[in-house]
């Protein structure tokens, strides 16, 4: 785990450096930081120096928002943090705030956060431990009449008395400074498989570092444009993950690759892997990027996800049995699921792309947690008239492959983060009863 900065200049931008803004984030990158990223790159530098670290994105954690003055649905959530872009109704945002004096002093009302616009946030999990330098607590939002709502909040605060901060002067504006993660969670229903699961947008995670076997690769590669800077997954700003919206995946990756043989220079070049045969290897053997892993629950279950350029078989393209079943050379098969294909319409109202849902089954017919979404172009659409697809691009598709994890009945309690890290996040947990 990264250590909290110990000097006034650690991880801060130089005098001539221009801070990066959310609007400058790479296409497809979404701000969903791990807990340690949020603490180490945002809360700690802001508390010590009055600004976030140099490798953080300015404005990702909003300043100057009075989270106690308005109901959660009226908070200024960024447009990119609204789940309608991903097919659900989830919303999330991050805000710097100050803990109320009663909470900091441990008073009888310290477990509630009253909201001037009505309702209050009530503590669900809490704890205290002098050996840690940061603590996270979860709150739920209740109406004035006591009705529980779907709104939740994670409050991250520093243990200013921890050994790590001895001799360190906190910034004058950092009195009781905390970070709030406010979010609205909805269950995804409808055409998706009939099961409760975490998808690649959910949960609090740690990076899984075990190497994964490479499947057989094709011989085709595409060279970068000469003289152009390259963006890659390893250079995504702290706290961001590559989870593009479907239309970003289509417009910025699949269409340029099909027409020109490469993606634009201003997108993450390895966001969608090229040269990987997804039908040659079992899904767990695919080369998922190390940054595309999340731990979803207290049992250590994790989900992984990755994006791959691949080719539909002629049988699948012709509407034969291959449309519904994709055999895997290493064993098992991908089977169609999730209802009719979803179409994506252009400005003219005509569908120019489709998405199909697959689940992975063992040879014996056992359903596994692996899922895939296949994005393909409608090459006969009006928007492609006059365009010439590059040689070899016939039936080119993008596959998003990911592993889903069953949602536990009860969310994890508060997690404590110490600074004696050995490379893995080892939360200690304690649950207390509210009353």
Q: Is the per-residue pLDDT at 400 higher than 90?
A: yes
pLDDT bracket for residue 112 (50, 70, 90): confident
211 domain residue, yes or no = no
pLDDT score of 135 more than 60: yes
Question: What is the mean pLDDT of the segment spanning 38-59?
Answer: 86
The parent domain of residue 288 ranges over 240-403
pLDDT of residue 118: 84
The rounded distance, in Å, linking the Cα atoms of 103 and 98 is: 10
Asked if 129 and 111 count as a contact pair (C-beta separation under 8 A), the reply is: no
Q: Which residue has the tokens 């080719």?
A: 311
The 3-state DSSP composition of the chain as helix, strand, coil percent (nearest 5) reads: 15, 30, 55
Q: Does some domain include residue 434?
A: no
List the single range of 86-100, 142-156, 331-345 with lowest mean pLDDT: 86-100
118, 111 contact by CB (below 8 A): no
Per-residue model confidence (pLDDT) at position 254: 94
- Which of 106-110, 231-235, 418-422 tops mean pLDDT? 231-235
Q: Is 109 helix (H, G, I), strand (E, B) or coil?
A: coil
Tokens 């010590």 belong to: 48
**Average pLDDT of the segment spanning 110-117:** 77
255 and 356: one domain?
A: yes
Q: State the pLDDT at residue 19.
A: 53
The answer to whether 203 and 296 have CB atoms below 8 angstroms apart is yes
Domain membership of residue 152 (yes or no) is yes
Q: Are residues 150 and 255 in the same domain?
A: no
Domain annotation covers residue 58: yes
238-292 per-position pLDDT tens digit: 788 898 989 999 999 999 999 988 898 889 999 999 989 999 999 999 999 888 8
Band of the pLDDT at 387, cuts 50, 70, 90? Answer: confident
Domain with residue 397: its CATH number is: 2.170.150.80
Same domain, 180 and 38: yes
- Final residue in a domain of this structure, among 149, 164, 186: 186
Residue 225, in any domain of the structure: no
Residue 197, domain member (yes or no): no
Distance CA(213)–CA(308), nearest Å, equals 15
- 234: tokens are 């390893």
Asked whether residue 130 carries a pLDDT value surpassing 70, the answer given is no
Is there a single domain that holds both residue 161 and residue 31? yes
- Count: domains in the chain: 2
Asked which of 186, 202, 227 is the last residue of a domain, the reply is: 186
Whether the per-residue pLDDT at 185 is higher than 70: the answer is no
Instruction: Give dist(CA 78, CA 151) in Å, integer.
Output: 17
Residues 270 and 332 in one domain: yes
Q: What pLDDT does residue 293 have?
A: 78
Boundary residue ending a domain (141, 163, 186): 186
pLDDT band per the 50, 70, 90 thresholds, residue 35: confident
48 and 176 within one domain: yes
Say yes or no: 181 and 35 in one domain: yes
Of 136-140, 205-209, 295-299, 395-399, least confident by mean pLDDT is 205-209
pLDDT at 345 over 60: yes
Residue 146 lies in a domain: yes
More confident residue, 210 or 151: 151
């Amino acid at each position: 785990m990264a250590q909290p900065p110990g000097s006034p200049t650690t991880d801060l931008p130089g005098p001539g450096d221009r801070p990066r803004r959310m609007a400058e984030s790479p296409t497809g990158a979404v701000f969903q930081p791990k807990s340690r990223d949020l603490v180490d790159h945002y809360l700690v530098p802001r508390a010590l120096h009055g600004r976030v670290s140099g490798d953080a994105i300015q404005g990702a954690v909003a300043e100057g928002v009075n989270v106690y003055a308005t109901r959660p649905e009226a908070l200024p959530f960024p447009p990119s943090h609204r789940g309608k872009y991903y097919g659900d109704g989830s919303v999330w945002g991050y805000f710097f705030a100050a803990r109320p004096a009663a909470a900091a002093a441990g008073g009888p009302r310290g477990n509630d956060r009253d909201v001037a616009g009505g309702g209050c946030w009530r503590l669900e999990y809490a704890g205290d431990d002098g050996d840690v330098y940061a603590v996270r607590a979860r709150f739920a939002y209740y109406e004035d009449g006591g009705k529980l709502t779907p709104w939740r909040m994670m409050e991250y605060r520093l243990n200013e008395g921890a050994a790590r901060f001895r001799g360190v002067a906190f910034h004058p504006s950092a009195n009781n400074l905390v970070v709030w993660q406010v979010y609205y969670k909805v269950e995804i229903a409808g055409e998706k498989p009939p099961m409760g699961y975490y998808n690649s947008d959910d949960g609090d995670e740690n990076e899984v570092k075990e190497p994964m076997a490479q499947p057989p690769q094709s011989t085709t590669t595409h060279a970068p444009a000469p003289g152009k800077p390259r963006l890659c997954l390893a250079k995504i700003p702290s706290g961001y993950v590559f989870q593009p919206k479907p239309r970003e995946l289509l417009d910025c990756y699949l269409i340029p690759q099909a027409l020109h043989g490469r993606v634009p220079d201003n997108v993450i070049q390895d966001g969608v892997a090229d040269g990987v045969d997804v039908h040659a290897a079992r899904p767990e053997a695919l080369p998922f990027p190390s940054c595309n892993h999340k731990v979803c629950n207290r049992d250590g279950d994790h989900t992984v996800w990755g994006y791959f350029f691949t080719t539909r078989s002629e049988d699948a393209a012709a509407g034969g049995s291959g449309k519904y079943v994709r055999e895997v050379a290493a064993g098992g098969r991908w089977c169609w699921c999730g209802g009719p294909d979803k179409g994506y319409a252009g400005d003219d109202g005509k569908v120019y792309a489709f998405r199909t849902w697959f689940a992975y089954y063992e040879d014996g017919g056992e359903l596994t947690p692996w899922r895939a979404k296949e994005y393909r172009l409608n090459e006969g659409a009006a928007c492609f008239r006059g365009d010439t697809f590059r040689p070899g691009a016939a039936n080119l598709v993008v596959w998003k492959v990911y592993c889903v994890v069953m949602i536990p009945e009860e969310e994890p309690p508060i997690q404590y983060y110490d600074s004696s890290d050995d490379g893995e996040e080892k939360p200690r947990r304690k649950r207390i009863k509210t009353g």
